[in-house]
Structure 1
Amino acid sequence: MRAVNSHNTPGLAGLRFAFGTLTVLPVRVSRWDRDCAGAGMRWAPLAGLAVGLCAGAAGGLLLLLGAGPLLAAVASAAVPAVLTRGLHLDGLADTADGLGSGRPAEDALRIMKQSDIGPFGVLALVFVLLAQVAALYELYGRGWGYGATAAAVAGAAARLALTLAARSGVPAARPEGLGAMVAATVPARQALGIALLVTAGFAAWGTLFGGYGAPRLALAVLAGAAAAELLLRHCVRRFGGVTGDVFGGVAETAATAALIALAVGFR
């Protein structure tokens, strides 16, 4: 009987794929194929939760050391960028340049592949990061638990957007690249089930805050998913499908929308 390498079983290989490609954590990707990529996209919210918890811990530590909520907010916005090598922010900027160019799909995709960032990309980065810091500042001002929870929600919501964007029926815009590797690898029903599981998990977390904490955390996750879906559909119409940059764009959009929803309603 041939021994089974536990590192290559679909579930564990997918988990390694999620952490190895979506974070800078020292996790070796043991397989690189579409089956493993699909499993990785199913695990993506867990990788996002880990990033979000690290972001919340950084903000909380600064508050403990005597810093104010603004510095804590900046730290919680910076940590995800550091732990993902700025991959999603770069994707957001490239997606904004492609959409803002107004060019046909082929030309827009060529613009997105260029290494420089254009004016639309710069504006997108500025406003998204400002919105994230402003929302986190509001939440850290209400207490460490609110800010840290918001960072965790944003991290998980961002990667849940990747799971939903990788669902069946959403084509790749190019035949190569990470976008093509993960596009349409998650059955739509499974993507929906994972979305419901993540939403329910944060609703349970929200009960710790009493009052309307549960529905507010759940609504924040849903707000992130809805905003990401709007961007995803627009990109599919404009580019003919998704790319790695689009995945980054929907992740940052989801995180920002979730944070804004919490800043507005999480009291």
Structure 2
Amino acid sequence: MRDAWRVAFGTFTALPVGPPEHVTGVVLGRALLLAPLTTAPALLAWAALGTVSTTGWAPAGVAAVLALVVTALLSRALHLDGLADLADGLTSGHDPARSLEVMRRGDTGPAGAAALVLALLLDAACLTTLLGGAFGTTLAVVALVASRLACALCARDGIPPARADGLGQGVAGTVSRAHLLGLVAAVALAAGLAGASVSAGLGSTWWAGGLGAVAVVLVAVAAAVVTRRHAVRRLGGVTGDVIGAAIEVALAAGLVTAALVVTAVPHL
């Protein structure tokens, strides 16, 4: 299990960790299942920024941008890079080989740049609303954690790699359906309990907060699945860029859902 922790934090964060002793399909599968836990450093930063914003020490907009900056630094912006690469690849034509070649390049084209700008603007707009209150901050954190479910969703058994090398080749098919369903259920349950607890503490109905938090998780999961399916249909399988893009799309979808929940229930 130690190797899985090292692979998870070494892959999805910029934190210094020792190299794993053994890297097998089982280890990689476990690492992807642990991906939501690798958000812990960013989660603490988001919670702190939400507290600073809620107490009036900093404007919500500033806190929102700082939250995105911290997250990008902690992840070495790899997920954003995956989003840009996938956008460039999918808009380069309908030939899978051509798309994969474009995705392998180190430059970013117009589609990739547009995807990055629009995704970050959407995230910042949502976080400006969410980090202004305790319940909104809770839902923002839920969206952050839920977005990392995309890692296991993209590596579910039965999904092939798009190329014979790279991260996709190593992790494709390493997560069983049973483990995936268990992980999604666990994250949804934890999110529901967190949302219910915070809403009850604010004097609102606990079930409204719980359902809102669960909705954030489910929408994030659905967004990741849609991204994965589209990529597999166009590319023939998954790559590391597909996983990164699925994370960013899931995060944006989760944050939008969270902002809608907070707007619909203003007293939270």
Do the two structures share a fold, i.e. TM-score over 0.5?
A: yes
Q: Give 1:20's aligned residue.
A: 10
Q: Distance in 2 between matches of 1:113 and 1:121?
A: 13
Determine if contact 2:143/2:258 at 8 Å carries over to the other structure: no
**1:9-158 alignment to 2 at 5 Å?**
11-30=1-20, 31-61=22-52, 66-141=57-132, 143=133, 145-158=134-147
- With 26-35 and 151-160 compared, the bigger mean Cα shift is at 26-35
Q: Give 2:156's aligned residue.
A: 167
Structure 1 unpaired stretches of 5+: 1-10
**1:157 Cα deviation (Å)?**
1.2
Q: Distance in 2 between matches of 1:179 and 1:40?
A: 14
Structure 2 unpaired stretches of 5+: none
- With 38-47 and 233-242 compared, the bigger mean Cα shift is at 38-47
**1:58 Cα deviation (Å)?**
3.6
Count of matched residue pairs: 255
**1:235 Cα deviation (Å)?**
0.3
Q: Give 2:240's aligned residue.
A: 244
**1:76 Cα deviation (Å)?**
1.3
Residue number among 165, 169, 175 corresponding to 1:186 in the alignment: 175
Aligned partner letter, 2:9: F
SS of match in other structure, 2:173:
coil
Q: CA RMSD in A?
A: 1.6
Which digits, 9 at most, give the CA deviation of each residue in 1:9-34, with x for residues without a partner?
xx222122111110011222313332
**1:77 Cα deviation (Å)?**
1.6
Determine if contact 2:86/2:241 at 8 Å carries over to the other structure: yes
Q: Distance in 2 between matches of 1:177 and 1:68?
A: 42
**1:64 Cα deviation (Å)?**
5.3
Q: Distance in 2 between matches of 1:202 and 1:261?
A: 14
SS of match in other structure, 2:222:
helix
Residue number among 227, 237, 254 corresponding to 1:258 in the alignment: 254
Q: Distance in 2 between matches of 1:75 and 1:219?
A: 25
Pair 1:230-2:207 in alignment: no
Q: Distance in 2 between matches of 1:134 and 1:174?
A: 36
TM-score normalized by the length of structure 2 = 0.90
Which digits, 9 at most, give the CA deviation of each residue in 1:18-72, with x for residues without a partner?
1111001122231333221111011111113443332332443466572100001
**1:146 Cα deviation (Å)?**
3.2
Aligned partner letter, 2:70: V
Determine if contact 1:49/1:152 at 8 Å carries over to the other structure: no
- With 83-92 and 49-58 compared, the bigger mean Cα shift is at 49-58
Which digits, 9 at most, give the CA deviation of each residue in 1:175-228, with x for residues without a partner?
111111111101011111100110011001011213211010011011000011
Identity of aligned residues (%): 41
Residue number among 181, 192, 204 corresponding to 2:193 in the alignment: 204
